[in-house]
Structure 1
Amino acid sequence: MIDTKGRSLELFYIDGHPDGMITAELFNWTGHVFVTPRTRLAEALKRTEAVYAGVYLLLGEKDGVDCAYIGEAEDLGVRLKQHAAASDKDWWETAVLISASANRLNKAHVKYLESRLIVMAREIGHTPLHNGNSPKPPGLTEADIAKMEAFLASLMVVLPAIRVDMFIQRSRPAGSTVSSISRETPYFENSKSNPEAEFLLKYPKYGIQANAVLREGEFIVLAGSQLYPHWQGKEGANYHSLYEELLRGGVVQSDEQSAVFIKDYAFASPSAAATIIYGRSANGPESWREINSDITYKEWEVRQLDAVTEENTDD
């Protein structure tokens, strides 16, 4: 069951702008997240939380690809100084320090958190890690493991808010998104009793078609959907790296002649999904068509908005 309870998050822009130093805290959570650009590292290390025990993320770009390093330390400031001086880590531009109020995390806690974060990042495959082997988690009591897992759950709420999306799991196990679309017919005819909006995209030139559902604000392309087997847009275009990421992460399987989604995958928008399927820039609202009515996503969206307006008028 999805937890729909609201959470209160406080972001504080220390130097007054979002690209500077930031602190992030959730109400009723002992964790503390501090973000600093590398250019402000000298100032950042003067802060109290910089001498706490915790885990940290180094974020940047290497050879044109987003890259990250995950580590732990009993003194975060000392470890970051070492990384700043290391010749093999010149690529990182931002550091994210994760600790707890009153320095409540001990060495075993932070080693557990480091191990879990590395495993999570590699399973998701969104951002390549500069780490070597994955460290094994230390032996913790059952109670401490429960505490650290709860700590991680809250941390996963905070990190996307500070634009760290490497732990967002957008792929789903194949078949995890229930759809009434039948793959036995060429047009994936569906039952009108299905409450979810379902969409179809065709690329007739190459005999490609894909299907998707809109669920809880996510535009999910379903496993079994086809896509163009190569990126045919501009090198370095916005979605080129995502196309490569889906291949690398096993969401998409491709050979020289064809490619297919082997997992359901949640895209940020219909255009993002259409671009990946075409292998080039595409207008998603015009490319996807609603299954029952055969109208475009754009036309379907207008109908939904008009219906809301009519309901408000009736009230």
Structure 2
Amino acid sequence: MGHGKSITVYLMDGDANERYQVTLDNWNIESYKIPYEMILQSSDLNLHTAGIYFLFGYQDSQNFVYVGEAEDVYRRLTQHTPEKDKFIWDTAVVFVATGDGVLDKAKIRYLENRLYSIIKTANSYILWNKNKPTKSRISKPSEDSMESAIDKIKLVIPVLGYTPFNKRKYRSKKLEEKIVSSSKVDAKKVFYINQKEVEATCALDSNEKFLLLAGSKISSDIQTSLRKNIIKKRTEMTKEGNIVNNIIQRDTYFDSATAIASFVVGYSVNGKKLLKTEDGRTLAEYLESISI
């Protein structure tokens, strides 16, 4: 059995909807939770120093997070604007060293890489980072210290209301519950495309039309075999902000399984063979089973 830990949460403005300061006993790193609209009035906090930060938001029924590092966290946060980032975040959660703590550039880059990887593996939040952060090389004692810091960060983040480190154990069940709540589709008619760097969820609606669901991740590569009309659809959706960092932002209709599959993987492919049910049957096998 583990030992108890004491976390102190201070409502800096006397309001649970505004800024928090969080400290963990016997740890020389402190955390702040700051709403987007209060960043500029937080310049007097201990933020003009090196640290790691998370930007949290919610869009199209999906939680998202951006993981970053900076040698001046306050300055970096002021640079994260909707115009520059192409997404709108609600809250920043920051981890910086207190007076007797040290977080140098190598350590915060190590933390950024490891935290990104942990969140990606958990797969419960969409990651808005365009690329995987580079992992810096640090000494073994420093690495052990940063791994200990990660354990503590994983304790603090849920206290602030976020769970990006929790693994999505029942992905399809949750998705089906979401689908059932909508009159668009039958939960039994849900199909998946899972390949390297691709994770898409598709469904047949009540009119037997194909939907690519929001939150699906599509390939960043487009090969010459991809039909021109599908390339055009990708381009238009990107310009309209309906594809951000290869993540689909809204449910999107397609004419056929092949069109939706080709759109997702970036090359011409037989959708009836690529789309699969939760139990691994291809769409072709599923259609054959219901026609018997």
Q: Normalization by structure 2: what TM-score?
A: 0.59
Corresponding position of 2:71: 74
Closer/same/farther in 2, CA of residues 74 and 232 from structure 1, 3 Å limit = closer
Give the secondary-structure state (helix, strand or coil) at the position aligned to 1:50: coil
CA distance in 1, matches of 2:68, 2:58: 17
Asked if 1:139 is matched to 2:158, the reply is no
CA distance in 2, matches of 1:165, 1:244: 26
Give the secondary-structure state (helix, strand or coil) at the position aligned to 2:126: coil
Corresponding position of 2:94: 97
Corresponding position of 2:84: 87
8 Å Cα contact 1:227-1:260 kept in structure 2: no
CA-CA distance at 1:14 after TM superposition: 0.5
Corresponding position of 2:278: 259
CA distance in 2, matches of 1:41, 1:160: 21
Closer/same/farther in 2, CA of residues 230 and 126 from structure 1, 3 Å limit = closer
RMSD over aligned CA atoms reads: 3.7
Corresponding position of 1:233: 180
Q: Deviations over 1:270-298 (max 9, x none)?
A: xxxxxxxxxxxxxxxxxxxxxxxxxxxxx
CA-CA distance at 1:257 after TM superposition: 8.7
CA-CA distance at 1:60 after TM superposition: 1.0
Asked if 1:26 is matched to 2:45, the reply is no
Q: Deviations over 1:171-197 (max 9, x none)?
A: 3xxxxxxxxxxxxxxxxxxxxxxxxxx
CA-CA distance at 1:230 after TM superposition: 8.1
Query: What one-letter code is carried by the residue in structure 2 that aligns with 1:105?
Result: L
CA distance in 2, matches of 1:228, 1:106: 41
CA distance in 2, matches of 1:147, 1:25: 17
Closer/same/farther in 2, CA of residues 13 and 260 from structure 1, 3 Å limit = farther
Give the secondary-structure state (helix, strand or coil) at the position aligned to 2:80: helix
2:160 paired residue among 150, 159, 162:
162
Query: What one-letter code is carried by the residue in structure 1 that aligns with 2:115?
Result: L
CA-CA distance at 1:150 after TM superposition: 0.5
Closer/same/farther in 2, CA of residues 226 and 153 from structure 1, 3 Å limit = closer
Corresponding position of 2:210: none
Query: In percent, how many aligned pairs have the same letter?
Result: 25
Closer/same/farther in 2, CA of residues 59 and 89 from structure 1, 3 Å limit = farther
Asked if 1:44 is matched to 2:45, the reply is no
8 Å Cα contact 2:191-2:276 kept in structure 1: no
Structure 2 gap segments, 5+ residues each? 204-273, 281-292
Q: Normalization by structure 1: what TM-score?
A: 0.55
1:55 paired residue among 52, 56, 70:
52
Query: What one-letter code is carried by the residue in structure 1 that aligns with 2:95?
Result: I
8 Å Cα contact 2:56-2:90 kept in structure 1: yes
Give the secondary-structure state (helix, strand or coil) at the position aligned to 1:259: coil
CA-CA distance at 1:144 after TM superposition: 0.4
Structure 1 gap segments, 5+ residues each? 172-220, 262-315
Give the secondary-structure state (helix, strand or coil) at the position aligned to 1:97: strand
CA distance in 2, matches of 1:226, 1:21: 35
